[in-house]
Amino acid sequence: MSEKSYFDGATRRRTLQAMGAASVVSVTGLAGCSDDDSGNGNGNGNGNGNGNGEPEEVSFPLEVQLETNADNSDRVEMVELVAASLEDTGYFETNVETFEFNDFVARILNPEYGDRGHIGCVGLSGTFNPESFCNALHHSGNIGQCCNMSGVSDPELDDMMDSARFGIEVSQDPDLRRERYDEIWHYLAEESYSSIANFSVEDAIMNNSVHGFNGWPFNEGLLSFALYSPTENQVTWMDDDADPRETDLSDVQEGGTLRVGVVENPDSFDPPYSSDTTSTFVQSLIFEQLVTSDLEGNVYPWLAESYEIVDVQDVDRADYEEYMISVAADEEGAIDTTEQIIVVHPDDDPVGDDEVRVLTPEEAADAVADGVFGMRIQYELHEGVTFHNGEELTAENVVRSYEYYENSNVSAQTFDSVLHAEADDEYTVSVYAQVPDAEAERELPGVYILSTEQLDEIEADDDLDRGDIDPREDLTPIGTGPYTLEEFSDQQFAEYEKYDDYWVEEMGVDTIPWFDGPAEFPDGPVIDEIELEFIPDDATRSGALQNDEVDLTYGLATATLDDFDASDDFIVDIVEAGAYDYFQTPLNVEPWDDKRLRQAFNHLIPREVIVEEVFNGYRNPAWTDIPELARGLGTADYDALEAEIRPTNEYDPERAVELIEEVIADHGYESTV
């Protein structure tokens, strides 16, 4: 493979990602789970709490606990480097604690995590939309979901983020949208709620039996995209006798088994009850959505034969007032209802008010019936699409799927825009937005479509609950996708077989209106079987690939990637990614509530050293919060943005010490430094 520079800068080398699903949580599939504070050391520190949310007297040097997932050796090394950087100032005493990935995700997404005083580090896999690189980390609605682990709750910032996505003006004016996002990036740089360390790319390493493989920018879709994606004329096949560097689409062979080394055991096969990208990774072979997209983020109909934005109205959330009901709220802002909250009246404060006005699904349907909504997108479904149980896809499946997402682990992300889904006839469904939404074409249809028969089974069986679409609950997931789950052994493997009646094969890919690929492009994926082996340890996974125990893997430690890339026995595939590593300091715990201390922390992250010494040049320093693939709609002028914001992210221990000393002096904190 020829040399190519994927990032600007002095280092011109092939850039490969070391962040697999075991190191990234997905903006589209996360869980706020039960809390487990075991194994976290004493968690105490002067001003950082004692691990139980109890404040202690602040003094310097400040005891700080940094936390991350143990199964990503590169990230652990990065966190240790940042911890050492803090210690070098003399103003911090640090320790680093690590956790198994699924435990860590459950830990940091607990709404109480931000009160413990710890500094968490994790990775985010976003989307093509710029909002996924600010809202997920900072919108108050994402506390306990994705990925606001420190409990950022800033009404001004919430309004800024909402105004960059929602409203009649911004939905019709991309330039205005870019300007508003630029205001957000500057605000975030000033407040330093999060410290973005680096951006990555997605990599896949495979042996010479794998042909045609091309990667996807987001880890959770890496395999499903590569196996079969008509938007890019993409198909992967197996061939032991030819050199994959010399084959093309005309050489496609049917059959065979693809063995994949997966970086983590999936937390769930139930789409709205997922906690990590590995879960979405394994689900994406089974389930599909109304739309799909290409490598540039362009949206195409998929289970829907077509779609149309039928209506856009100048409606804001206050216009739902007459449909709202009043419910009690406690002093912590918890709203006393078991129904999904679609809209909270913008004039009400769940923390400060004893009662708040809310819109639940029943009232949302009433509003739609009266013509009160922000947008309506109508989807015409393909007729004849069948689920793996033989059930035909209809509008009812779509409506029931949206209902299943209510009060799920991704409900905050789903119902930040969705108002209501309604069947217009058997094969036509309308999805309504609360207000005009600049990202509606991608975000409104962003749910997996589920089997109505399976959802009925969950409701009828007292032993089953929402979230139980999982072989560990003796409920095999049923979707419309190209593969069926045949066998699963927890912590070990999952085996899939090609679905004989896959709808694209039944109809022919050339019947899809937008498809303009070559005549030889197949009518569906060509590999018969997929075997996923769950191998969390990097070295073991690398050895499995070298020993021909798997054909493909990803997310290996960067120290091994050069060797694979130099070998004629393996191919390394690279695609620019929408993922990054970030830290969040406990801004609700003294003294981190002073933004100057957070700014100081930001100046103590040696981004360039991390990229070169930890990731061997296979990352890009994050000078802004927005990656390349989201810049088109996320900034008016990226060069100007970087020039203005980069100084806040430069490694500058002297400036950090100045800021720390200001904090100590202004608050009268004790210091022995």
Cα–Cα distance, 160 to 188 (Å, whole number): 11
Choose among 171, 172, 193, 173: nearest CA to 184: 193
Choose among 57, 30, 28, 53: nearest CA to 40: 53
Tell me what pLDDT residue 21 has: 30
- What DSSP designation does 40 have? S
Judge if 349 and 331 occupy the same domain.
yes
Vertex 340: Cα angle to 334 and 343 (nearest 5): 80
Judge if 401 and 315 occupy the same domain.
yes
Judge if 327 and 343 occupy the same domain.
yes
Q: For the whole model, what pTM was predicted?
A: 0.82
Judge if 322 and 267 occupy the same domain.
no
Taking the CA atoms of 96, 99, 101 and 102 in sequence, report the sign of the dihedral they define.
Answer: negative
Full residue range of the structural domain in which residue 237 is found: 219-298+452-574
Choose among 57, 37, 60: nearest CA to 47: 57
Is 178 a domain residue? no
Q: Are 666 and 593 in contact (CB under 8 A)?
A: no
Residues of the chain with pLDDT under 70: 1-56, 275
Choose among 472, 453, 473: nearest CA to 463: 473
Is 176 a domain residue? no
Is 292 a domain residue? yes
Cα–Cα distance, 151 to 79 (Å, whole number): 21
Q: Considering 393, 422, 443, which residue would you say is the last residue of a domain?
A: 443
Judge if 245 and 348 occupy the same domain.
no
pLDDT tens column, 449-460: 999 999 999 999
Q: What share of the chain is helix, strand, coil (3-state, %, to 5)?
A: 35, 25, 45
Judge if 260 and 365 occupy the same domain.
no
Judge if 349 and 394 occupy the same domain.
yes
Q: Are 480 and 524 in contact (CB under 8 A)?
A: no
State both tokens at 412. Answer: 């905050």
Is 507 a domain residue? yes
Judge if 308 and 434 occupy the same domain.
yes
Is 515 a domain residue? yes
Q: Which residues contact 403 (CB under 8 A, 6 or more apart)?
A: 361, 421
Choose among 100, 187, 117: nearest CA to 151: 117
Q: Considering 389, 413, 443, which residue would you say is the last residue of a domain?
A: 443
Choose among 546, 556, 552: nearest CA to 533: 552
State both tokens at 525. Answer: 């994926």
Q: Are 177 and 635 in contact (CB under 8 A)?
A: no
- Here the CATH number for the domain that contains residue 469 is 3.40.190.10
Question: Rg (Cα) of the chain, in Å, rounded?
Answer: 25
For 63, the 3-state DSSP assignment is: strand
Judge if 411 and 484 occupy the same domain.
no
H or E segment at 181? helix 174-191
Judge if 472 and 507 occupy the same domain.
yes
Q: Considering 443, 478, 506, which residue would you say is the last residue of a domain?
A: 443
- Here the CATH number for the domain that contains residue 321 is 3.90.76
Judge if 256 and 129 occupy the same domain.
no
- Determine how β-strand 483-489 pairs with β-strand 59-60: unpaired
Task: Classify residue 52 as exposed, middle or buried by CB count within 10 Å of its CB (0-12, 13-18, 19+).
Answer: exposed
Cα–Cα distance, 172 to 632 (Å, whole number): 15
Find tokens 């806040």 and name the residue.
648
Judge if 558 and 611 occupy the same domain.
no
Domain count for the chain? 3
Is 175 a domain residue? no
Is 651 a domain residue? yes
Is 659 a domain residue? yes
pLDDT tens column, 76-128: 999 999 999 999 999 999 999 999 988 998 899 888 999 999 999 998 877 88
- What DSSP designation does 392 have? B
Beta bridge partners of 49: 45
